A and B are shown apart, each in its own frame.
Chain A
């Protein structure tokens, strides 16, 4: 089509400058808050003891995994129950490098990313043909299968696990900062995706795959890209976790908690937003830690009740509240509209 009168061009240019390009980042206020909290977390090793370092490192670890889940489950709409496979594989990358005398966190993370991208492509091309519940079940199957495969591989220590290189106590903070970088990278990576063409391809696939294809979006390609990115985020978290923990076996690497928590966190914080997964991890990891401290035997009961309440009252997550105008009435109205 040969049309573009300059008058129209310039007027649309002004319109866009005024309103901004938007993007699919969710509330910018929430993102600013998340970045602020992230910056504050830099101070933890200086002001807190090792126990709190571990608690906050777990927040960052789960945040990175929740970001990973958010890319495939939140933006692309493919609900995966197999993200722990990426996390565990990342951890075993560190373990294998450690067993071969390599003691470098950057190498650990880099290898985890490469292995997970390869794994995402090989597994993703067949599995991402499935939709909805079938995809969820298949990914759950992958997570269970890989646990058993690793438990039976003597090279990876079988079910008794492997020791992973571990710095002396005086330098324990290294792992904290490494995990902080992984979480920040996941957050900024998500932001970059949400502001780019790639993010729109993911959301178009989530909203309607047929319509996306007709608009020129090759589904298989973009779904595999989404899964590979989500695998890198979870894998990097695993690659830092393994040496921080000093030991890795299949029950730690592929635990049910590491599989389910990131999903719940992303949903609590706000699926398909840039701030959501981090805010969700902050609240849930923190609450879980407190509940474990005061109600050691029944803390999961409170935890479960909290998740049910959140899903009922905040179906689109906390970040959604930031975009809501009109206070409690608007919230009630949106809530009833959402259910109908």
Chain B
């Protein structure tokens, strides 16, 4: 990292994922994945089931050491940092399968993060609880602060995961399917929450299946399929990419779409070449392609 570039400035490259491969036995869950994450951006990480999204999250958060390549953050290789030190660099994560400390209260759960996170060493127990209370108000859990975490509903458990991660005072927050299992209204609330977090200057890397949600929040989308990065860019262009459509809906669907397009264009061509009156008495009725359903 050059000394002149401020790594904390918005738009600067915060995290570099370079040629990351992850092998489990004979299976490459990830191979040659590379992209940069800009400070202050929201990177949506999408892909079909089993495409390696959560594996990549685990590599970025230091839970797995990649088989090839490296993830660097602020000039440091994540793989060289012990898991419990990663949050001190400014990277926090949530778990897809939520992991609350069940016997502690909601406030205590968040306070643990405030105690041992990036600014934890400077915080007293009391200051940690105050920070936890602030964050609970921010994510909308203040009403259940005193309840044991095991009492929470699924949406509230997801909020708790976010609050715990925020208690680490991160610059980069990895969110692994925090919206899975939420209903439409809850998804909207979650999106508002994430926008507010991003508004505080926190860079987000979001794994999500809900396409509508991810499109609405992301500034960049990275698409994984079978462990490889197949597309990257602004949400609208990525979703129009044939490779992405193929990954999600299959090659047959894509082929049929192309055939339909071809037939359509041939027909248009034919209509343009032949005079209109000729079409009124066709020798052969044109084969109408089946209606494509969107």
Contact = CB atoms under 8 A, between A and B. Distances in A.
B202 A1 contact: yes
Contacts of B168: 215-216
Chain A contact residues, majority secondary structure: helix
Given A13-B130, A16-B126, A216-B168, A200 B108 contact: yes
Given A200-B112, A200-B115, A216 B88 contact: yes
Contact of A204 (B92, B101, B130, B169): B101
A333 interface: no
A3 B168 CA distance: 14
A336 interface: no
B44 to A, nearest CB: 22
Interface in B200-224: 200-202
Interface stretch (A18-26, A27-35, A124-132, A182-190): A18-26
A22 B146 CA distance: 10
B84 A197 contact: no
B6 to A, nearest CB: 15
A13 to B, nearest CB: 6
A325 B28 CA distance: 54
Given A203-B103, A207-B104, A213 B115 contact: no
Interface string B93-108: 1010001111111011
Contact of B101 (A8, A207, A213): A207
Interface residues of B, number: 46
Interface string A194-212: 0111001101100110111
B113 interface: yes
Given A12-B133, A22-B105, A214-B61, A197 B125 contact: yes
A19 B137 contact: no
Contact of A216 (B101, B117, B129): B117
Contacts of B128: 197
Contact of A218 (B84, B113, B201, B202): B84
Given A12-B130, A214-B83, A215-B113, A24 B104 contact: yes
A49 interface: no
Interface string B155-178: 000000000101111000000000
Contacts of A219: 84
B103 A196 contact: no
A3 B200 contact: yes
Interface residues of A, number: 34
A4 interface: yes
B99 A204 contact: no
A204 B99 CA distance: 11
Contacts of B93: 214
Contacts of B112: 200-201, 204, 212, 215, 217
A204 B112 CA distance: 8
Contacts of B126: 16, 21
A46 interface: no
Nearest to B170: A1
B99 A1 contact: no
B50 interface: no
Interface in A65-86: none
B189 interface: no
B87 interface: yes
Contact of A195 (B125, B130, B164): B125
A9 interface: yes
A211 B130 CA distance: 21
B207 to A, nearest CB: 15
A15 interface: yes
Interface in B39-98: 61, 63, 82-88, 92-93, 95
Interface of B: 61, 63, 82-88, 92-93, 95, 99-105, 107-108, 111-113, 115-118, 120, 125-126, 128-130, 133-134, 137, 146, 164, 166-169, 200-202
27 contacts: A1-B201, A8-B134, A9-B134, A16-B130, A16-B133, A21-B129, A24-B104, A24-B108, A197-B125, A200-B104, A201-B116, A203-B103, A204-B112, A208-B100, A211-B95, A211-B164, A214-B87, A215-B116, A215-B168, A216-B116, A216-B118, A216-B120, A217-B112, A217-B116, A218-B82, A218-B84, A218-B85
